[in-house]
Amino acid sequence: MMAEAKPKVAFYWCASCGGCEEAVVDLAEDLLKVVEAVELAFWPVALDFKREDVERLPDGSLAAAFINGAIRLSEHEEMAHLLRRKAQLVIAYGSCAHLGGVPGLANLHDRGSIFQYVYRDAPSVANPEGVFPQERFPAEEGELELPAFWDTVKALDQVVEVDYYVPGCPPTPKVTRAAIEALFGEGELPPKGTVLGAGTRALCHECPLNETKPDKLLLEGFKRVHEVIPEPNKCLLAQGLICLGPATREGCGALCISANMPCTGCFGPLDRVRDYGGKALSEIASILNSNDEGEIERALEKVADPVGTFYRYSLPRSFLGRRIRRGDRP
Ligand code: SF4
Ligand code: SF4
């Protein structure tokens, strides 16, 4: 009797810090179970696969492609399209693929100003000849080619259709295990578009400090994390620290809260929320106990980096998308 063929799976990283790849390795002994259950057809960060290996596969022959990282380069977009063609299911793994992530904050700048800073103006740069990356360069060996650096960072579903999302920066091993179980376990596949491995309520519901969060919370102002040593066992938001738990999807196990760090929102919005930052901002603004414009302004001055606070993981996927300066083309 012929052994049943294992489902072929691909893992790929786009504009990624590597944390999401690390999260897969963090499955520890469960990684061996995954390796046993599936055939790894492409995982360039861990094994010597090349793009041609994917190109040679028949269309639709991969059971699933897990893609992490945001779309920043032409190469990322090409790989996303290639994997979409080859895979029955495409999974946006981690907040960069899900919402644009931390690399998406680069949408506050454009390509030209990023290059100018990174290759010219940064204090650690020595570039007296003003050499900038070229997409094509004639060398003795022939013409060399580099991927194009797009002006705007995008989430994965802004360039290809995505079937499922796995949230987190990075997704925790528990969430990753639950996502793999949902995709390759015995049960039916969840509805398309599901955020796998996480719940449907806000993080406050699973937070161990929830009982200490007042039903009607009103604050005079906010504190920054370096200004206080939080009281243990008391809701961080009630202590004036901006904790985005009320706006963020549950499922991480409140790991940051357990380390006395407020939630920064990496699990993203709840199902019906289309703009995470807008929702988080309105949750926080609604607990300010003042109608006085001056007081409100002083309280908001404590939010040193509003976009980085409320849109840390989701600027590309927000209604804002990116900053456009006067004179820029839309
Ligand atoms: S989601 Fe977080 S851990 Fe994953 S690649 Fe992006 S920044 Fe890194
Ligand atoms: S606001 Fe933050 S600390 Fe307070 S209950 Fe919600 S998640 Fe926990």
Domain membership of residue 144 (yes or no) is yes
Q: What is the pLDDT of residues 43-84, one digit of tens each?
A: 998 889 999 999 999 999 999 999 999 999 999 999 999 999
Residues 87 and 174 in one domain: yes
Domain membership of residue 1 (yes or no) is no
> Ligand 2 mean position to 76 CA, how many Å?
36
> Ligand 1 mean position to 228 CA, how many Å?
28
235 Cβ closer than 6 Å to some ligand 2 atom: yes
Mutate to test the pocket of ligand 2, among 201, 203, 217, 287 (most ligand atoms within 8 A of CB): 203
Q: How many structural domains comprise the chain?
A: 3
10 Cβ closer than 6 Å to some ligand 1 atom: no
96 Cβ closer than 6 Å to some ligand 1 atom: yes
Residues 59 and 166 in one domain: yes
| pTM of the shown model | 0.94
Domain membership of residue 328 (yes or no) is no
Domain membership of residue 87 (yes or no) is yes
CATH number of the domain that residue 78 is part of: 3.40.50.700
Q: Looking at ligand 1, which residue's alpha carbon is closest to its atom 2?
A: 169
Residues 81 and 180 in one domain: yes
Domain membership of residue 29 (yes or no) is yes
Supply the pLDDT for residue 34: 80
Q: Which ligand is nearest to the CA of 19?
A: 1
Residues 163 and 303 in one domain: no
Residues 146 and 160 in one domain: no
> Ligand 1 mean position to 241 CA, how many Å?
24
Residues 71 and 132 in one domain: no
Residues 61 and 15 in one domain: yes
pLDDT confidence tier of residue 33, bands split at 50, 70 and 90: confident
247 Cβ closer than 6 Å to some ligand 2 atom: no
Domain membership of residue 291 (yes or no) is yes
Domain membership of residue 46 (yes or no) is yes
Residues 32 and 163 in one domain: yes
Over range 301-330, report the average pLDDT: 87
- Rounded Cα distance, 291 and 218, in Å: 12
Residues 162 and 59 in one domain: yes
Domain membership of residue 329 (yes or no) is no
Q: What is the pLDDT of residues 180-197, one digit of tens each?
A: 999 988 889 999 999 999
171 Cβ closer than 6 Å to some ligand 1 atom: no
17 Cβ closer than 6 Å to some ligand 1 atom: yes
Structural domain range at position 51: 8-102+151-184
Residues 170 and 283 in one domain: no
Q: Looking at ligand 2, which residue's alpha carbon is closest to its atom 4?
A: 235
Residues 248 and 258 in one domain: yes
Residues 24 and 155 in one domain: yes
